[in-house]
């Protein structure tokens, strides 16, 4: 089933840095972008630049008009834990 979103540390997040297991932080949210990979209009390699990382800066530099929740709502895996997070 779909896991309940929960906090993850950056150490946990950065383990998911592969094309077939890819998480990305945008704002304070963590998305599993593995299945979105083939649909990203900017291509896989652009998406992979932020694989397992905080992609907030790259995301908003590339397309500040895109709403990640509209596209990746069902792909939310959790929130960034720790200072400034949960």
Does position 78 interact with ligand HEM (CB under 6 A)? The reply is no
What are 30's two structure tokens?
């963590």
Q: Of 40, 44, 60, 76, which lies in the binding site for ligand HEM, with binding defined by CB under 6 A?
A: 40
* 17-18 β-sheet, strand order: 6-8, 76-80, 29-32, 21-26, 17-18
Q: Of 13, 30, 50, 81, which lies in the binding site for ligand HEM, with binding defined by CB under 6 A?
A: 50
Residues in a beta bridge with 25: 30, 54
Selected range binding ligand HEM among 9-17, 67-75, 76-84, rule: CB under 6 A? 67-75
Does position 41 interact with ligand HEM (CB under 6 A)? The reply is yes
């Amino acid at each position: 089933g779909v896991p309940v979103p929960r906090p993850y540390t950056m150490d946990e997040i950065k383990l998911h840095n592969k094309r077939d297991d890819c998480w990305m932080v945008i704002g304070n949210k963590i998305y599993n972008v593995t299945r979105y990979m083939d649909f990203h209009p900017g291509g896989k390699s652009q998406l992979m630049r932020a694989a397992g990382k905080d992609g907030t800066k790259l995301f908003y530099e590339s397309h500040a008009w895109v709403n990640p929740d509209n596209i990746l709502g069902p792909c939310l895996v959790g929130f960034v834990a720790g200072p400034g997070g949960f």
